[in-house]
Structure 1
Amino acid sequence: MARTLSGRLLTGGLVILIGVLLLLRTTGIAETDTLWDWVPALFVLLGVWAIIRSDFRNLTGPVMVVAIAGAFLLRNLGLVSDAAIGTWWPLFLVLFGVLIVVNRSRRQRRLQHASVDADGELTAVGVFGGGDRRLSTDAFTGAEIVAVFGGVDLDLRDVSIPTPPAVVETVCLFGGSEIRVPEDWEVRIDVLALFGDASDSRPRRAKSADEADGTAEPDLVVTGLVLFGGVEVLD
């Protein structure tokens, strides 16, 4: 059931909760200052949930959410001072870099295990702009997409995956990405979407028995973080 929880539901739930807290405060029905202190805990739980849901494939975005929200939670509880956060905030950048290196190392180990070379990988970046990338290979293993105030369109319709699943990691901040895949691919989306959405918009098709009960291994897993943006899978 956890895998069916969509980005829209998460975003809607957060907006409803924040709206209720604001309403209670503005109408004077209840004092909500103490409750506001615990709001970062919701983001910590969301990050942990995203990591577990993805079978630890999705690390970069959720871990950053857990780290930043956790720091604000400790501050609200009086365990960490504003001065300490102001001094040590560059550690978030260090953590982000470490996660990128770790993900790259994990992907390289997977390449070696699959006996394919790096030609099956792709990195696409769109910052304050857009770009279209089309890949043609018989040894696709994964891709990294970064869209910041921009968009990236990735076309995978001419690729084959030697050892499924391939993993596409996305980071979309105020940006979006479209991923086009073959019609018969089974795609699983393990994206943490905060005030955004990640969806498989392909027309419905008949599923095999394994696909229907969720036991089939997907051809492609889309992971990452979406903040005020979107990721869409098309065919």
Structure 2
Amino acid sequence: MEQRANKGFYVGMIFIAVGAILMLQRLNLIPWSLTDILISWQMLLIAIGAIMLRNGSQVKGIILIGVGTFFILPEIFDVPYELRRVYWPALLVLVGVALVYRQRGGHRQLYHGVEGKTFDEFDDFVIFGGREIFITSKQLRGGRSTSVFGGIEYDFRQAGLAPEGAVIDCTCLFGGTGLKVPPDWNVRNEITTIFGAFTDKRGDSFQQGQLDPAKTVVIKGITLFGGVEIKHV
């Protein structure tokens, strides 16, 4: 409830800011050119990134602010040709630095997923490629999945959850993550989607009464031009 209240607060602040900017523009206090910059999808990414930094999601916040800044700079400045040539590589460097910081910032040891291996936590990273991982742990606590211009698919159908459940943090940047889960798992969506999607395709394969509240997995993270998909088969 507290998390939902915080999201409502921030969404409300964004609406207030947009309304105030439009009012100032209608009163001819700020020019249209500035309004177009302040009310844009790039500025929305920067605002969401700042909110995530405020809430402690440093890596996701840095990525969103970097992408938003990357696309909004040409709207503000006449970017020289020499700088435009290194624009995309610079963005990749920024994302890479954020991901390296995330890997080094972990406080617990996590294990890199290997097909068919049993472990209780995982931390997987894919870039420009794909990977399929089978997890058979009976005390799964969760982990992290990062896909950049690639995809990861997990098969949890032979796995069991820890008594406290599991939390899976997914970061999909121009990529995707697929999760095959048992029919009685209760999946709670807390993904932030920006030009992306979260899809639960189990609707045709299970009945609502099958879900076990004691077996809850929380899917967190962010999809930017990517997606997370839940399925049973």
TM-score normalised according to structure 1 size: 0.59
Structure 2 CA distance, aligned partners of 1:177 and 1:143? 13
Does residue 1:61 correspond to 2:60, yes or no? yes
Q: Tell me the residue number matched to 2:45.
A: 43
- The Cα of 1:135 is off from its aligned counterpart by 0.6
- The Cα of 1:99 is off from its aligned counterpart by 3.3
- The Cα of 1:180 is off from its aligned counterpart by 0.9
Structure 1 CA distance, aligned partners of 2:94 and 2:225? 24
- The Cα of 1:70 is off from its aligned counterpart by 7.3
- The Cα of 1:199 is off from its aligned counterpart by 2.3
- The Cα of 1:218 is off from its aligned counterpart by 6.6
Q: Tell me the residue number matched to 1:157.
A: 157
8 Å contact 2:119–2:136 — kept in the other structure? no
Structure 1 CA distance, aligned partners of 2:175 and 2:72? 27
Amino acid at match of 1:222: I
| Distance of aligned partners of 1:175 and 1:94 in 2 relative to their CA distance in 1, 3 Å threshold | closer
Q: Secondary structure at the match of 1:183?
A: coil
Could you say what the CA RMSD is over the residues aligned between the two structures, in angstroms?
A: 4.4
Deviations 1:103-155 (A, max 9, x none): x21x559xxxxxxxx93122333322222110111121112222222221101
* Corresponding residue to 1:229 among 195, 218, 226: 226
8 Å contact 2:59–2:101 — kept in the other structure? no
Structure 1 CA distance, aligned partners of 2:190 and 2:231? 16
Q: Tell me the residue number matched to 1:14.
A: none
Structure 2 CA distance, aligned partners of 1:148 and 1:92? 9
Deviations 1:186-223 (A, max 9, x none): 11122222211112221151388xx9xxxx67721112
Q: Tell me the residue number matched to 2:100.
A: 97
Amino acid at match of 2:103: I
Structure 2 CA distance, aligned partners of 1:150 and 1:68? 18
TM-score normalised according to structure 2 size: 0.60
Q: Tell me the residue number matched to 2:113.
A: none
Q: Tell me the residue number matched to 1:171.
A: 171
Q: Tell me the residue number matched to 1:141.
A: 141
| Distance of aligned partners of 1:140 and 1:225 in 2 relative to their CA distance in 1, 3 Å threshold | same
Q: Which has the higher contact order (CA 8 A, sep 6+)?
A: 1
Does residue 1:197 correspond to 2:200, yes or no? no
Mark the runs of 5 or more structure 1 residues left unpaired by the alignment: 4-9, 11-16, 18-30, 110-117
Structure 2 CA distance, aligned partners of 1:77 and 1:35? 12
Structure 2 CA distance, aligned partners of 1:178 and 1:231? 6
Q: Secondary structure at the match of 1:119?
A: coil
| Distance of aligned partners of 1:173 and 1:41 in 2 relative to their CA distance in 1, 3 Å threshold | closer
Deviations 1:70-93 (A, max 9, x none): 798899999xxxx9xx9x997775
8 Å contact 1:62–1:224 — kept in the other structure? no
Structure 1 CA distance, aligned partners of 2:51 and 2:95? 20
| Distance of aligned partners of 1:207 and 1:156 in 2 relative to their CA distance in 1, 3 Å threshold | closer
Structure 2 CA distance, aligned partners of 1:43 and 1:93? 18
| Distance of aligned partners of 1:92 and 1:147 in 2 relative to their CA distance in 1, 3 Å threshold | closer
Mark the runs of 5 or more structure 2 residues left unpaired by the alignment: 5-10, 12-17, 19-30, 78-82, 111-117
